[in-house]
Structure formats: structure tokens, C-alpha cells
Amino acid sequence: MGTTESWEEKGKEKVEDKVSIWCIISMASIPLVMTLGNSMLIPVLPILEDKVGISSFQSSMIITSYSVAAVFLIPVAGYLSDRFGRKMVILPALILALIGGLIAGFASWKMEDPFTWIIIGRILQGIGASGAMPIVLPLVGDLYKDDDEKTSSCLGIIETSNTFGKVLSPILGAAFAAILWFLPFFSISAFSLISIGLIFFFVKVPKEKDDPIKFKEFLANTKETFKTEGKWLFTVFLNGALVMLILFSTLFFLSENLEKVHDLKGIKKGFVLAIPLLFLCIASFITGRKIKGNLSTMKKMMIACLIALSISVVFVGFVSDKLILMLVVTSIVGIASGALLPVLDAIITENIDKEERGTVSSFYSSARFIGVAAGPPIMSLLMKDYLNASYITAGVLGLILLFIVFKFIEVDEIKHRNKHA
């Protein structure tokens, strides 16, 4: 009898493992799709400027409109996911992203002056992104509730999927645009449809035993969380914003520089643009596996990454006319950014109670999207006359943030509060 039970238990474990793998793949598809939805257009922006007849600042707004829409709606999506469930928010959000891609694609295809409708489609995609990508972080925390090591590892995979999307983006964007310049918009809808199918069939969210808390109680709890954990939370938010600001301003600059200074276009430019992003992806994957829920290790990683990022970013402008040197410097920026992102994800997810996890992680995602939104337009305005000054400023901001991390990420204090929570 005991043997039969043990065989049954082993069978159940195998089924659970299989479901878990597909569940992780399904969750990882969301950041992949949302990243492709934004980053895939970066190498295509010079083509868009030519085909639609717009300036580099206007083309940067195609990236920014997506991100601004997400910034303001992410906290709402976070609350709704805490209140009604993660999957109930993710699926409609992915459908909106799909519709937004179709609008931008059809406008580009059929209209003589499609810019306004492209922006409308991008705003819809941004609204979709606000209810999809940020909700993955608390969903991982829900699935691995009592296992920080598994949570960190899974978050590493999720962040790697995000960064892998950035590696694929310039190559796919350039390849699709070589066929039809507006094809990247339609491809976003196709990728969204695949993710919808995966989430619908394979993500099984744990059932809630208790009734969801009322809005008043939820607000009081969230306020209390920010009151007690505010110092380290805002430090993490600032890190997320700065990393994405540096990353997307650098990608925008690289896309323009490779074409106009180094005469690299099309798929060739896509592959070159993917080099620093590949290093970013590898760094994310390794970091996610190494931190294992250890808060002390996370703080050390944050410090090391901020030092590397602050020093390397200063030199981007100075080496911009030397292709190999520029790729070396931007690859170091990529490694530092890629190693930092899964650390920030894990700190947020593992140290906030489930009831507020969706909302708090959504504020963190909003901070990241602020960086994404601000990077391209700032760079489009500064790169002609103030390129070196802008990167030196980024390095100084990184060093200021390093001081803030030393002061406000207090490992023992966070651990102590978690034990008594």
C-alpha cells in the first residue's frame, strides 16, 4: 500500500513539474512580447522618420507614448490584480496590446499621414503593457510563496526573457522592416496572440482561501507598507528608473549612430545593436541563478553593478566614432544593467506581503517605464550638442544612487521586519 502511495506521489510531482515548466514559459512569454513590442521599433525609427516624414524627436515619441501610457496605469493594474486576480488582468491587457499593434500597422499601411494613428495604437499597447508585464512579478511570488530561492531563480528567468527580447528586437525589427517597413507593428499583435494562448491554457493561479480585502483596508495596508519600508522601496524604484533611462537612451543613440556615423543599416545594424544586449541577457540569467534570495548578496550586487554602470556610461559619447570601442563600452553598460535588474525584481517580490505585492511591484514597474519613456526623447534632444555631458551626468547620477543604496538598503533591518511580519 505504502509503495502504491509513493508511486502516486511521484506521479503527481512529475505532473506538477511539467505544469510548472509550461507555467514559467508562459509567464516568460509576457516580458518577451512586451519588450519586443517596444524595443523592436528602435532600429526601425530612422526608416519611420523617412517613410512617415517625421523628425527624430517625433520618432522617439513612438517609444515614449507606449511607456507614458503604461506609467500612469500600472498602479491601477497592480491594485486590480491584488483585488481580482493576476490572470483576470493579464489576459485583457494582452488583448489590448494586440489591438494596438493592428491599429498602428493598418494606419502605416493604408494612410498617407499615419503618425497620429500610430501614436494612438502605441498608447493602446502601452495600456496593455501596464496590465501584463508588471503583474508577472507578483504572480511569481504567489506561485513560489514560501521559497525565496525558487522565486529568485524564476524571476531571473523572467528578467532573462525580458532581456532576451531586447537581444532579438533589433534583429527581428530590422528583418521585418526589410520585408515591409510597417510589418513590426503587425508582428507585435501576432506575438501577443501567442502569449494569450499560453497564459490561458498553462498558468494556473493559486486559489484564494480568503475574501479579497476591501479598498479602504487595502489603501491603509499599502500606506503602512510605504511608511515602514519606504526608504529601501524608493531606493529600488530609483535604481529601476535610472537603469532603464540609461539603457533606452543608449539604444536610441546607438541606432542613430550606427546608421549615420558607421553606415550600418538593416539586418547588419540589427545584429550589431544586439551585441551589448546579448551581454545584458547573459548577465540577467546568471545573476538570477546566483542570488538565491540572499539579501546580503543582493546588496553587494547592487553596489558592484552601480559602480560598473556609473564608470562605463561616461565613455559612451567619447568612443562613439570608434565602433569596436563603442561596442565594448556599451557591452559593459549592458552587463551592469542586466545583472542589476533581477536583483531589483527579487528584492521587491520577496520582501513585500502578498496582499500588497501587486501594487508595490507595479509602482516599481512604473519607475522602470519612466526611464524607458524619458530615455529616447532626452537623447534625441541632447545627442547633437551635449552627448558627452549627458553621459557624464548619467554617471554622476549612478554614483549618487550608490550612496543612497549604502544608506537605505539596510539588510538586517529588512530581515528583522520580515521575520516579525
* Cα dist from 341 to 204, 265, 345, whole Å: 26, 30, 6
pLDDT value at residue 208: 60
pLDDT value at residue 416: 57
CB 141 within 8 A of CB 147: no
Look at residues 45, 8, 28, 2 and name the one whose alpha carbon lies nearest to residue 273. 45
Reported in sequence order, the residue ranges of 235-364 that DSSP labels E, i.e. its strands, are none
Cell of 163: 532581456
Look at residues 85, 359, 342 and name the one whose alpha carbon lies nearest to residue 206. 85
Cell of 232: 529601501
For the four alpha carbons of 179, 180, 184 and 190, in that order, the dihedral sign comes to negative
Name residues whose C-beta falls within 8 Å of residue 280's C-beta, 6 or more positions apart in sequence: 163, 166, 167, 247, 334, 335, 337, 338
Rounded to the nearest 5 degrees, what angle is found at the Cα of 383, between the Cα atoms of 381 and 384?
90
CB 342 within 8 A of CB 284: yes
CA distance 136 to 289: 18
Helix (H) or strand (E) holding 358: helix 354-382
pLDDT value at residue 418: 59
Long-range contacts of 223-227 (CB under 8 A, 24+ apart): 225/352, 225/353, 225/356, 225/360, 226/360
* Other Cβ atoms within 10 Å of 195 Cβ, number: 24
Query: In this structure, which CATH number among 3.40.190.10, 3.30.70.260, 1.20.1250.20, 2.60.40.10 belongs to the domain 17-203+212-419?
Result: 1.20.1250.20
CA distance 107 to 128: 19
pLDDT value at residue 17: 42
Query: Is this model's pTM higher than 0.85 or not?
Result: no
* Other Cβ atoms within 10 Å of 10 Cβ, number: 10
Helix (H) or strand (E) holding 63: helix 56-84
CB 88 within 8 A of CB 122: no
pLDDT value at residue 10: 45
Cell of 120: 494612438
CA distance 216 to 227: 17
pLDDT value at residue 340: 94
Mean pLDDT by 10 residues, the chain (421 residues): 45 43 88 85 86 88 85 81 85 94 93 92 90 81 73 79 85 89 91 93 72 70 81 93 94 90 89 92 86 82 96 96 95 95 86 74 85 88 91 96 91 63 51
CB 382 within 8 A of CB 57: no
CA distance 62 to 359: 27
pLDDT value at residue 158: 84
